[in-house]
């Protein structure tokens, strides 16, 4: 099933359907828009027919200078079997030639009262959000001091229990068990919960709890940008874990790299507090304060002074 159809634009932006009702289920495959000004002049060699077409005041003012034959020719060329829809902006009257061409190919002709630039901006934001690449990851997403932290790890390692403790400490749950992630920009990942398990948390031995009901609306969020990944793994005595934090590990989700920290799990470690501190330390690093780097510089300075003595 297509992610976005012409029908969705009608409902989202309160557009008026003028013609082409049979084509309202046409899929929209790209967030790019087209203002076919050069096409109005007759140049269709590189016409991007798969895009949503916007006819503003500039395009229609030029259109009205054409001869009746040219008007019919241009509108017939504009309406193709792959054109998802054509939107006439500013509440302008839809040309009869466009309605006639629409009836031949079932291209939906829509009308909007918004200015072309404003509608173009809103359409682009909407389509980029809906058509963004998506994936689903097993984990828990929590908003900690404004940092979206994705907690990952094998089943039973304690992800949900840690999230529950974080919620009790005043942080906000976004998703448990399955995190739906969409890439809204080259470096922006936004996580949310599937509708079926929204606001729910599964605790082994206790069952499923509703976080919003127990802790209030302030304990949940619908979506959050993912900035940090915490990977929980059972403590391995033979493995050397990072003790300074100088090296920053990265994890690739879709096409975006995110900072990842591996935390070993064993009895007695307060994971919620450690993850909370990791989020605060991450914020400090982004503000230019790197404790590990400062310690390394002080250590190197002390060694140099020792060698001089």
**What range does the domain containing 46 cover?**
6-130
Query: Does residue 169 belong to any structural domain of this protein?
Result: yes
Query: Does residue 239 belong to any structural domain of this protein?
Result: yes
> Which of 12-21, 214-223, 275-284, 285-294 has the weakest average pLDDT?
285-294
Binding residues for ATP: 153-160
Q: Are residues 170 and 222 in the same domain?
A: yes
Q: Are residues 202 and 244 in the same domain?
A: yes
198 against 296, higher pLDDT: 198
Q: Which residue has the tokens 């002049």?
A: 41
5 as an active site residue: the answer is: no
Q: Which residue has the tokens 């001869």?
A: 67
* Banded pLDDT at 201 (limits 50, 70, 90): very high
Dist CA 6 CA 11 (whole Å): 9
Whole-number mean pLDDT of the chain?
90
The catalytic position among 243, 247, 266, 309 is: 243
Q: Are residues 120 and 145 in the same domain?
A: no
Binding residues for Mg(2+): 160, 202
Looking at residue 245, what is its pLDDT?
A: 66
Dist CA 132 CA 127 (whole Å): 8
Query: Does residue 309 belong to any structural domain of this protein?
Result: no
103 as an active site residue: the answer is: no
Q: Are residues 207 and 104 in the same domain?
A: no
Query: Does residue 308 belong to any structural domain of this protein?
Result: no
Q: How many residues does the chain have?
A: 309
Q: Are residues 90 and 163 in the same domain?
A: no
Task: Mark which of 75, 104, 130 sits at the end of a domain.
Answer: 130
Q: Are residues 185 and 125 in the same domain?
A: no
Task: Mark which of 130, 163, 179 sits at the end of a domain.
Answer: 130
Question: How many domains is the chain partitioned into structurally?
Answer: 2
At residue 149, the 3 state secondary structure works out as strand
159 as an active site residue: the answer is: yes
- Under DSSP, the state recorded for 27 is B
Query: Does residue 144 belong to any structural domain of this protein?
Result: yes
Q: What is the mean pLDDT of residues 281-299?
A: 78
Q: Are residues 267 and 190 in the same domain?
A: yes
Model confidence pLDDT, tens digit, residues 97-124:
999 999 999 999 999 999 999 999 999 9
Query: Does residue 307 belong to any structural domain of this protein?
Result: no
Looking at residue 184, what is its pLDDT?
A: 83
Exposed/middle/buried for residue 147 (C-beta within 10 Å: 0-12, 13-18, 19+): buried
Binding residues: 153-160, 202
The catalytic position among 3, 57, 118, 138 is: 138
Angle 66-68-34 from CA coordinates, rounded to 5°? 55
260 as an active site residue: the answer is: no
* Banded pLDDT at 289 (limits 50, 70, 90): confident
Residues forming a β-bridge with 265: 234
Q: Return the H-helix or E-strand segment holding 257.
A: strand 256-265
The catalytic position among 26, 159, 172, 199 is: 159
What CATH number is attached to the domain comprising 217? 3.40.50.300
Q: Are residues 114 and 147 in the same domain?
A: no
Query: Does residue 149 belong to any structural domain of this protein?
Result: yes
Residue 46 has pLDDT above 70, yes or no: yes
What CATH number is attached to the domain comprising 95? 3.40.1390.20
Q: Are residues 241 and 138 in the same domain?
A: yes
Q: Are residues 32 and 60 in the same domain?
A: yes
Query: Does residue 53 belong to any structural domain of this protein?
Result: yes
Q: Are residues 279 and 142 in the same domain?
A: yes
Highest mean pLDDT, choosing among 129-133, 170-174, 235-239, 285-289: 170-174
Task: Mark which of 130, 163, 186 sits at the end of a domain.
Answer: 130
Q: Are residues 167 and 118 in the same domain?
A: no
Residue 290 has pLDDT above 90, yes or no: no
């Amino acid at each position: 099933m297509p992610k976005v159809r012409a029908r969705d634009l009608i409902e989202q932006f309160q557009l008026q359907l003028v013609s082409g009702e049979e084509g309202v289920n046409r899929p929209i495959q790209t967030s790019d828009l087209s203002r076919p000004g050069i096409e109005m002049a007759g140049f269709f060699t590189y016409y991007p027919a798969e895009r949503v077409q916007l006819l503003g005041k500039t395009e229609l003012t030029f259109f009205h200078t054409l001869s009746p034959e040219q008007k019919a020719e241009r509108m017939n060329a504009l309406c193709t079997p792959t054109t998802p829809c054509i939107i006439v902006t500013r509440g302008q009257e839809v040309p009869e030639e466009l309605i006639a061409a629409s009836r031949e190919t079932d291209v939906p002709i829509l009308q909007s009262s918004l200015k072309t630039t404003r509608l173009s901006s809103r359409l682009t934001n909407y389509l980029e959000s809906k058509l963004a690449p998506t994936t689903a990851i097993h984990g828990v997403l929590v908003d900690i001091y404004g940092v979206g932290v994705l907690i990952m790890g094998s089943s039973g390692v304690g992800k949900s229990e840690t999230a529950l403790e974080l919620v009790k400490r005043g942080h906000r749950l976004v998703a448990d068990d399955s995190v739906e992630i969409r890439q809204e920009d080259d470096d922006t990942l936004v996580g949310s919960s599937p509708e079926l398990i929204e606001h729910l948390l599964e605790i082994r031995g206790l069952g499923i709890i509703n976080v919003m009901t127990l802790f209030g609306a302030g304990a949940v969020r619908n979506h959050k940008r993912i900035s940090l990944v915490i990977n929980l793994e059972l403590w391995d005595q033979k493995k050397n874990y990072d003790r300074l934090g100088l090296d920053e590990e990265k994890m690739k989700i879709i096409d975006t790299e995110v900072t990842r920290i591996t935390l070993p799990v064993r009895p007695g470690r307060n994971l919620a507090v450690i993850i909370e501190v990791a989020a605060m330390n991450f914020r400090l690093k982004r503000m230019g304060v790197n404790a590990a780097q400062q310690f390394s510089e002080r250590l190197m300075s002390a060694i140099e002074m020792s060698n001089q003595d």
